[in-house]
Amino acid sequence: MTDDPRTSQPTRFPSEPEQKRPGFETAMRTKPDHGEESYVGKGLLEGRVALVTGGDSGIGRAVAIAYAREGANVAISYLEAEQADADETKAWVEKAGRRCLLLPGDIRDRALCTELVERTVGELGRLDILVNNAAAQTTNEDLNDIDDDTMEEAFAVNVIAMVRLAKAAVPHMQPGSTIVNTTSIQAKVATENMIVYAATKGAISSLTIGLSNLLAPKGIRVNAVAPGPVWTPIQPIAKPSDKLEMLGQDTPLGRAGQPSELAPAFVLLASKEGSYISGAVIPVTGGIPMY
């Protein structure tokens, strides 16, 4: 690897097998980089506790690893089918000398959202950081391809669960706590074959601003990170192999991002380094503008 941002990570993903939802890290031919060998902590989150949804793989795993190396204990939520991926994330968190609480379940379940927070506080002692990262990605070729059940599921996972988790978390949070949401470049570009997914991500961006305004008087900051094309298990679900190979080559930097390249933004927004940042959406897009 080099320091050149155009070539510091893989630029092609040949022969990557397609997957069915929810997508598994263990099934990927080209493994994503979560910072396992590169992320170096500075103690920025020492003594804190984070709950990361979708923490088993992809961006969620990279965030969990980075937070652990910054000193935080981490709870991760994930679907039961993703247990093998979750176990690997836990191993990396514990290798950093931190506790990792595994919380399987489907966040479309209203009761589970409350349970995730209660178990985190009960077993890890507190909650300082909520990372709303789990997402259901949907695609369409035409308007008639959009299935009602799939559309409702996307909003249930990407938006409604986020509100429920925030409602459950905030009563446990002290001033200085933070919420970090994962939105997407799709909130702005809204490509024609991802209109439902884009709509959920637009809602997340607006929700981030609204929650920031609502919670600022409590001393709780709320921000979002907007990834561009990133090499995670969500990609082999949404795209055929021929398109996967070229993922990210239409960005100004000419390649897809890696989860490890998202983690520092999540650390900034969760730490004192970002103490005057609230209501922001931070693009990590390989140069694609978000105006």
Give 116-173 pLDDT, tens digit per residue: 999 999 999 999 999 999 998 888 888 988 889 999 999 999 999 999 999 999 999 9
Q: Give Cβ neighbours of residue 98 (< 8 Å, ≥ 6 apart).
A: 68, 71, 72, 73, 74
In which band, very low, low, confident or very high, does the pLDDT at 1 lie, cut at 50, 70 and 90?
low
| pLDDT for 145 | 86
Q: How far apart are CA 174 and CA 215, in angstroms?
A: 11
Give the amino acid at 287: G
* pLDDT at position 241 over 80: no
Q: 39-87 pLDDT, tens per residue?
A: 999 999 999 999 999 999 999 999 999 999 999 999 999 999 999 999 9
Give the amino acid at 61: R
In which band, very low, low, confident or very high, does the pLDDT at 25 lie, cut at 50, 70 and 90?
confident
Which CATH code is given to the segment(s) 39-283? 3.40.50.720
The angle at the Cα of 289, spanning 150 to 151, to the nearest 5 degrees, equals: 5
73-78 vs 49-53, strand pairing mode: parallel
Q: How far apart are CA 74 and CA 184, in angstroms?
A: 23
Q: 246-282 pLDDT, tens per residue?
A: 888 999 999 999 999 999 999 999 999 999 999 999 9
Provide the token pair at 35.
């910072």
Q: 81-91 pLDDT, tens per residue?
A: 999 999 999 99
Average pLDDT over residues 89-97: 98
Q: Which residue out of 78, 197, 276, 291 is catalytically annotated?
A: 197
Whole-number Cα distances in Å, 60 to 15, 143, 218, 221:
25, 31, 26, 20
| pLDDT for 171 | 98
Closest CA to 189 of 276, 253, 238, 251: 251
Alpha carbon of residue 6 to chain centroid:
23
Sign of CA dihedral 131, 132, 136, 138: negative
- For the question of residue 197 being annotated catalytic, the response is yes
Q: How far apart are CA 112 and CA 135, in angstroms?
A: 16
Q: Tokens 């983690």 appear where?
A: 263
Question: What is the DSSP track for the chain?
Answer: --S-TTTSS-S--TTPPP--TT--GGG-SSPPP-STTT----STTTT-EEEEETTTSHHHHHHHHHHHHTT-EEEEEE-GGGHHHHHHHHHHHHHTT--EEEEES-TTSHHHHHHHHHHHHHHHS---EEEE--------SSGGG--HHHHHHHHIIIIIHHHHHHHHHGGGPPTT-EEEEE--THHHH--TT-HHHHHHHHHHHHHHHHHHHHHGGGT-EEEEEEE-SB-STTHHHHS-HHHHHTTTTTSTTSS-B-HHHHHHHHHHHHSGGGTT--S-EEEESTT----
